[in-house]
Structure 1
């Protein structure tokens, strides 16, 4: 079986993210509202996973420091 990479992406709230991806033709295949908001969308062979967090910022591009 070939390896598969599935990104798990942060977001501030799931509903607008799910609306956006369903408009692009993705299907919501899993959604958890409590205790931790989490969702999975799929289209063809593409799977994306999202978790909601109040600390997500689209402008935060910081990377961990390296030695």
Structure 2
């Protein structure tokens, strides 16, 4: 799901940046899996712990 899709789910269309900020401030990335949130175009977007870890976590999710 994208940041925008999550914003729509919480009835806040247009709040994709706020969703991204919340994900970036998440101190417990393995419990609240912000690594699963992608950019609208399907790219990785950002990740507070770095894109290499985001790639590895997404790969582990597919196992």
Q: Which protein, 1 or 2, shows the higher relative CO under an 8 Å CA cutoff with sep ≥ 6? A: 1
Higher fraction of helix:
2
Regarding TM over 0.5, the answer is: no
TM-score, L = length of structure 1: 0.24
